[in-house]
Structure 1
Amino acid sequence: MPTNKEKLEKLLGVSDPQEKDSLIEEIFDDIGSDVKGFFNEVKDLFTGEMPSIKKVEKQTRYTWKNHTENQIVQPLQYLTPKSYEDLVAIVQTAEANNCKVRAVGSGHSFSDVVQTNDFLINTDELNNPIPLDKSLLKGNVDTSFLVHVQNGMKIRQLNDYLDEHSLALPNMGGYDAQSIVGAASTSTHGSGITLGPISSFYKSIILIGDGGITYRIEPANGITNPAKYKAKYPGNKLIQDDEWFNTVAVSMGCTGIIYSVILEVMPAYWLKEVRTLSNWEIVKADLIDGKVLTDNRHYEVLVNPYKVKGKHQCLVTKRNIVKKPDIIIGSKGSRNFLTELLGLIPGMSDIFDFIFDTFPELSPAILNEAMKGLVDDAYIDKSYKVLNLGTANNISAYSAEIAFPVKDHIYIKAVERMFEVANKMKTLGNLYHTSPISLRFVKASEAYLSMQNGGNTCMIEIPVVNGTYGGFDLLQHYENAMYEFSGRPHWGQVNYLTGSNDLIKKMYPDYDKWLKVYKELNKNETFNNQFTDRCGFSVINFKNQ
């Protein structure tokens, strides 16, 4: 006669509904006869060695958390598809049950963009390159630098794959654990005034929309031959239309589930990174002059929002393409050793949090010392290794990021207003930053809801070490203060955007075009969630009875 412990162990691995119901009934009967004994067996089960649980594609009673655990959701079903067919079936099943569905990559968004109470798709198993089907493309398309990848492929995996083929991404952000599609969908970016956000690498998007219909979406002059595509995939829809493409490229998962994308990359290249200390007055003059933006492929600035000894200290990072060196010696083969070492120490985030929380008044000086630790005369390596921030990413943090026009130096006025806000928070509430703010510059994007839409952009990021006292309040103060300077919050980072007062429509001149395509692809509202409700994209019907 099996014990309750053995039954419970078995229950964890049972997927057949009838077998599960029978087992639950047996356990319930036993609970009634010996409640104390049952709970002791449960205790033994969870304090002893856990039984192996068979990995299944569908899980219920699952709690999903993002990377920093500021977004938590308990969906009806947490699903891990392994194929295109699985994705189609999930969308169709969700619609048949009047449920919503969203997809999540690596969970590195700090906003509620993927939140859903219904069907949440984990894309980790969809992480492979797909052979490029050249037979579907127009005859004049150069395929030398085209790659086709599934939606769950992490940037780190993509970098390795490209490197094996002597290729590289034209640009990337400072973190490589994000999925390529997840990052692009919120207009995540790197730095460089001649380089657009990740979505600008897209040439074709394969998306599953309402009803499980498959769309291949491209610009009007897209790479795919319509006749050849229709002959091979008569049930799919090829849409070569600028409005559709510029909507879906940055759509935050609101228009459907992207299965795969075709990207345009470039030959592999090497970068040299130089980091030097400066101060805001010097950096400001250089930015107004403008040459630092055009003379360097990448130009970034970290700024201490507090004055120490009368100056706002800055760390300036410049990166430029160099020839592959014959021999790498000294510091040129790695970043500052101490900085990399600190990022590897387990619990370093907790240590930082303790220091900042216990001695908040020391924050301005600590930020200065942190920037000094990042100084390096040269770091030379393959592009993707230099663009990745390295072990600094191990420090647990969240952030807000706001986009400002480069024209008329509006972003400089925004930076100086941030100084005022930082000083106000310090003086009135003893609230302090736990990281410098950063400035990166990005080429304009044609995607309608890209933060970089409409012109070259300065992206100002405000990171906060996880656990910082008043951290989220600090970020909300900044967001509210930055609207005056045409500030557009990053969709995937901490933001407090709402659909009230036509706020988002005022930010994005092509908002109505985006909304039109969104409604066409989401007629059944299958891809709505808390985020679309908050932003006012969803149509919520209320009836007075």
Structure 2
Amino acid sequence: MTQEFRNWSGSISFTPETIAAPKNASQLLTLVKRAGQRGSTVRPVGSGHSSTPIFSTEDILISLDKMAGVVEVDAEAGWAKVLPGTGLRDLGEQLAQHGVAMENLGDVDYQSIAGAVSTGTHGSGITLGNLSSTVIGGTLVNGTGEEMCFGVDAGVPPPDVESDDLLRAVQVSLGALGVLTSLTLRVESAHNLHRLNWMTHIDWVLENYAELVRTNRSMDFYWYPRSDLAQVRTLNKPGEEPQLTPQGEPYSELKRDVTGPNYEIIPNDRMLPFEEMEYMLPFDRELAAFRRVRERVKLKHRAEVGWRVLVRTIASDHAMLSNTEAEYRQGGPSMTIALLQNNTLPFTRYFNDIEPIFWEFNGRPHWGKKHRLKSTELAALYPKWESFHAVRGELDPDGVFMNDYLRELFGEEI
């Protein structure tokens, strides 16, 4: 009997009929083609970090762990071709050997690159897009068992990739279009970042938030509900640091001051598993949505919330299902508010009570984190919702890559 699969936080478990780990695109192609012929379904999985059952299946679960590594780099042209199962930590190290780096990374680095881009994983920085926005091409195996190219790998000139519908669908695909076999990423020159972590009172952050966002390459903050303190993190290239810090303010304390390669400096250590809900909202320098969340948490949830609330920013992009897609945001940036809770503590009542505030502020949920929206609500939030499903119908006409969760999410009959 196949071993039970559990996600990183432990909140999702299932037992697939088969767990396959193809070593190359040829093996993957054969596997998908045979699954289609048998009427079976296939779901790819990266590190299992998602908090939604996006990868859940009773049929074939495909691990891409054996399809990992950097294939080719053109530092002068600013791109790198990588395999889908490459972990973000390994990717940073391997890209550095070629003198290049990702322009940004998320809060953690134990995800695979395919899983990270397929769910719209992001870091922080008002001029920095999510990881999906760096995808300019690649290859995938579609639902009929054919390997196909997209973006620059299909001959689309780099200046035109943002208008290429297939690429825009694949960039954030939830694994519903096919299984990625390679990704061509936009990269930049390898660089160091100087990271500062300050503890201060949340009132100082609220007063200075707009200036902190404007003057730092990357800035985010955690609010600690029980103490009403906040931890501010700034990331800048050495020599480009702004002067604004909470030094000298009440409760101010410098917790971390470190400089190094971006792939080492950006991620946080996350030894304890947690559950998370995160919504992307229109950027608001006044933090009105966060103020509402803070008020609600202090009123109803302070005794049970052991973890923190994380606020970040992201530039807009052009992926059809990106929750920071430009058309819906009129080209403006987004801010994100994430609720984190230790996985040993109750989270459902807390998340469900706060979530309507995100809806009120025109928020869209992170695809890999807890939320309650279904197809009707989601379709209203994505101008290219129908365009994405048209592409999906072409690439996977028989639903080889669907599972019960995606059918419910997309509003399709089971």
Q: Do Structure 1 and Structure 2 share a fold, with TM-score over 0.5?
A: yes
Instruction: Give 1:83-482 correspondences, 5 Å limit.
Output: 83-131=24-72, 144-218=77-151, 222=152, 224-225=154-155, 242-287=164-209, 290-306=210-226, 308=227, 312-322=228-238, 375-376=254-255, 378-390=257-269, 393-407=270-284, 409=286, 412-426=287-301, 432-454=304-326, 455-468=332-345, 470-482=346-358
Are the counterparts in 1 of residues 162 and 318 from structure 2 also a CA contact under 8 Å? no
Asked if 1 retains the 8 angstrom alpha-carbon contact of 2:169 and 2:388, the reply is: yes
Q: Which structure's residues are more often strand, by fraction?
A: 2
Q: Distance in 1 between matches of 2:167 and 2:115?
A: 16
| Corresponding letter in the other structure for 1:270 | N
What is the distance in 2 between the residues matched to 1:431 and 1:398? 17
1:25-44 matched pairs, under 5 angstroms: none
Secondary structure class of the residue paired with 2:236:
strand
- Give yes or no for contact 2:144–2:396 (8 Å, CA) kept in 1: no
Query: Separation in 2 of the partners of 1:101 and 1:482?
Result: 33
Q: Is the 8 A contact 1:445 1:453 kept in 2?
A: yes
Q: Sequence identity of aligned pairs in percent? A: 25
Deviating 4+ runs (over 4 angstroms): none
Q: What TM-score comes out, normalization by structure 2 length?
A: 0.89
- Segments of structure 1 that go 5 or more residues without pairing to the other structure are 1-59, 135-141, 228-238, 325-370, 541-545
- The 8 Å contact of residues 132 and 172 in structure 2, kept in 1 or not, is answered as yes
- Mapped to 1, the partners of 2:9 and 2:355 lie a distance apart of 20
Alpha-carbon deviation of 1:282? 2.6
Alignment match of 1:78 (pick from 14, 19, 30): 19
* Secondary structure of residue in 1 paired with 2:399: coil
SS across alignment from 2:398:
coil
The structure with the greater share of residues assigned to helix is: 1
- State whether structure 2 residue 413 is matched by structure 1 residue 534: no
2:309 is matched by which residue type in structure 1? I
RMSD of the TM alignment (CA)?
Answer: 2.4
CA contact (8 A) 1:173 1:387 kept: yes
Deviations 1:479-503 (A, max 9, x none): 233211112111101222222xx10
1:491 maps to 2:367? yes
Larger Rg belongs to: 1
What amino acid is the match of 1:444? S
- The answer as to whether partners of 2:320 and 2:384 remain within 8 angstroms in 1 is yes
Checking the alignment, whether the CA contact within 8 Å between 1:189 and 1:442 is kept in structure 2 is: yes
Residue 532 of structure 1 deviates from its aligned partner by 1.0
- Aligned partner of 1:493: which letter? K
Instruction: Please list the CA deviations of residues 391-436 of structure 1 after superposition, one character each: whole Å capped at 9, or x if unmatched.
Output: xx11221211111110575xx221122123313433xxx8521111
Is 2:138–2:153's contact at 8 Å kept on the other side of the alignment? no
Calculate the TM-score normalised by the size of structure 1.
0.69
Task: Name the aligned partner's letter for residue 265 of structure 1.
Answer: V
> What secondary structure is seen at the aligned counterpart in 1 of 2:237?
strand
Matched letter for residue 397 of structure 1: F
Q: Which has the higher contact order (CA 8 A, sep 6+)?
A: 2
Q: Who is 2:244 aligned against?
A: none
Equivalent residue number for residue 519 of structure 1: 393
Q: Secondary structure of 2:19's partner? A: strand
- Distance in 2 between residues matched to 1:87 and 1:386, nearest whole Å: 35
Counterpart of 1:64 in structure 2 is: 5
2:9·2:275 contact (CA, 8 Å) conserved in 1?
A: yes
The DSSP-based 3-state class of the residue aligned with 1:425 is helix
Q: In the alignment, is the contact (CA less than 8 A) between 1:208 and 1:258 conserved in 2?
A: yes
- The one-letter amino acid of 2:333's match is N
